[in-house]
Amino acid sequence: MSESEKVVLFPGITKLDLPADRVLDAAKDQLDRCVILGYDADGEEYFASSIADGGDVLWLIERMKKALLEVPDR
């Protein structure tokens, strides 16, 4: 067993940034639809969505925003 195979990824909430590739890899094969927001290597905003309807995209973003705002401060 290699050293990287011994690593157990923490499944909870953390205040540390994670590599984007790790987050995307974890989501692969888990989602039916998705919206991706972020920054590219040049600091430019990036947006992609598998959802064609802009209203549905905005609804999902607002629901996730609400959930994020309800996370207790620790």
Domain definitions of the chain by residue range: 17-69
6/68: higher pLDDT: 68
Q: What does the pLDDT read at residue 2?
A: 67
**3-state DSSP helix/strand/coil percent for the chain, to nearest 5?**
40, 15, 50
How much is the pTM? 0.74
**Which of the 8 DSSP states describes residue 28?**
T
41: pLDDT strictly greater than 90:
yes
| Dihedral-angle region of residue 29 (phi above 0 means left; psi in -120 to 50 means alpha; beta otherwise) | left
User: What's the mean pLDDT in 11-38?
Assistant: 90
Alpha-helical runs (H) found in the chain: 20-27, 54-69
